[in-house]
Amino acid sequence: MLITYTLSFIFLCIAGIHLYWAFGGQFGKMASVPSTVSGEPLFIPGPLPCILVALAFFAFTLVLHLPEIFIYNLDLLPIASWILVAIFAFRIIGDFNYIGLFKKVKQTDFAILDNRFIIPLCLLITVLLIIRN
pLDDT for residue 87: 95
The dihedrals phi and psi of 106, each to the nearest 5 degrees, come to: -120, -5
Domain that holds residue 9: 1-29+40-71
pLDDT for residue 75: 62
Q: Are both 3 and 64 inside the same structural domain? A: yes
- What's the pTM value of the predicted model, to 2 decimals? 0.87
The stretches in the chain having pLDDT less than 50 are none
Q: How many whole angstroms separate alpha carbon 92 and alpha carbon 120? A: 8
Q: Structurally, how many domains does the chain consist of?
A: 2
Helix (H) or strand (E) holding 61: helix 47-69
Q: Are both 79 and 57 inside the same structural domain? A: no
Type of residue numbered 9: F
The sign one gets for the Cα dihedral 109, 114, 118, 120 is negative
Q: Are both 67 and 4 inside the same structural domain? A: yes
* Structural domain contains residue 34: no
Rg (CA), the chain: 16
pLDDT for residue 72: 56
Helix (H) or strand (E) holding 10: helix 2-22
